[in-house]
Amino acid sequence: MILLDGKKISNQIKENLKSQIIELLKLGKNVPGLAAILVGDNPASQIYVSSKSKSCQEIGMRSIIEKINSDVSQENLIEIINKYNQDPNYHGILVQLPLPQHIDEDLIIETISPKKDVDGFHPISFGNLVIGKETFIPCTPAGIQELLKHYKIPTQGKHLVVVGRSNIVGKPIANLMLQKNQYANSIVTVCHSAADDLSYYTKQADILIAAIGKPLFIKSDMVKDGVVVIDVGINRIEDSSNPKGYKIVGDVDFDEVSKKASYITPVPGGVGPMTIAMLLSNTFKAYKLYGG
């Protein structure tokens, strides 16, 4: 069993971006910029946005966190997004989800300029992904593909099973991996809560991507020997032995499944760091395409 070390690979990606930004500074050029919009005081969202901003600073990328009260009107939020749509210093915009219930998430995502849609959530970005055109790929799926690429894991003709159908992970990774490209071109199955028996599908997987949001859901009897396991889950469960009173686990029971897997991502330290690395990569891409 080989661990897919997302932390190590993400650090390599960030170092590469950092060296390119240093060269831009030497030439007296503008640097890429990311604007993160945080609505309300959701603790998890605050941690996510803070880690994204910190990563920007580490590589010399401009960043700003626009903190907004949870009672902001939809109209005011749209005005703030449009301000950054027009700002030449910020090449990427992300609005941290989830949003308060009175805000239409779809409308907010569609307000972000497709040229600055570094999360890859805009319908134009997603549509381009589906038909195989150049676009901003959502960061978690892009990070998963980058891990497969780095470890030279064969994907062509392999049965890739995705557990989960979210717009953020399940649907885009399925569409990304069935494209006729290198480190894709897979036979893709998407299964979800409507299945009578999920294990019927997961046992067939050469590559299993777990993105269902249920802690330790995938057990060893649900996978075959030699499977490649990508665990997207980040779940907090009680742990009295931990000073914090909890521990972070994935959707996969790592202790069980790792005994049968050929490759597996740890949680934490697997997909999570790759997601942030690909956000930075998308922002740099936006800068090169539209803002440099």
Per-residue pLDDT of the chain (292 residues; tens, 9 = 90+): 999 999 999 999 999 999 999 999 999 999 999 999 999 988 888 888 999 999 999 999 999 999 999 999 999 999 999 999 999 999 999 999 999 999 999 999 999 999 999 999 999 999 999 999 999 999 999 999 999 999 999 999 999 999 999 999 999 999 999 999 999 999 999 999 899 999 999 999 999 999 999 999 999 999 999 999 999 999 888 888 888 888 889 999 999 999 999 999 999 999 999 999 999 999 999 999 987 6
The predicted structure's pLDDT at residue 240: 82
Is residue 289, in this structure, part of any structural domain at all? Answer: no
119 catalytic, yes or no?
yes
Please give the structure tokens belonging to residue 257. 């499944």
Question: Residue 54 belongs to a domain with what CATH number?
Answer: 3.40.50.10860
- Same domain flag for 66 and 155: no
- Same domain flag for 104 and 145: no
- Same domain flag for 223 and 168: yes
Catalytic residue chosen out of the listed positions 5, 14, 96, 145: 96
Which residues are paired to 39 by β-bridges?
68
Catalytic residue chosen out of the listed positions 5, 14, 52, 285: 52
Alpha helices in 87-177 (DSSP H): 105-111, 123-131, 139-150, 170-177
Question: How many domains are contained in the chain?
Answer: 2
- Same domain flag for 151 and 227: yes
Task: Specify whether the CB–CB gap between 155 and 186 falls below 8 A.
Answer: yes
- Same domain flag for 148 and 260: yes
The predicted structure's pLDDT at residue 13: 98
Is residue 278, in this structure, part of any structural domain at all? Answer: no
Is residue 22, in this structure, part of any structural domain at all? Answer: no
Residue 208 lies in domain: 139-272
Is residue 231, in this structure, part of any structural domain at all? Answer: yes
Question: Residue 255 belongs to a domain with what CATH number?
Answer: 3.40.50.720
Catalytic residue chosen out of the listed positions 119, 206, 231, 251: 119
The predicted structure's pLDDT at residue 81: 98
Is residue 102, in this structure, part of any structural domain at all? Answer: yes
Is residue 132, in this structure, part of any structural domain at all? Answer: no
First CA to last CA distance, the chain: 43
- Same domain flag for 40 and 88: yes
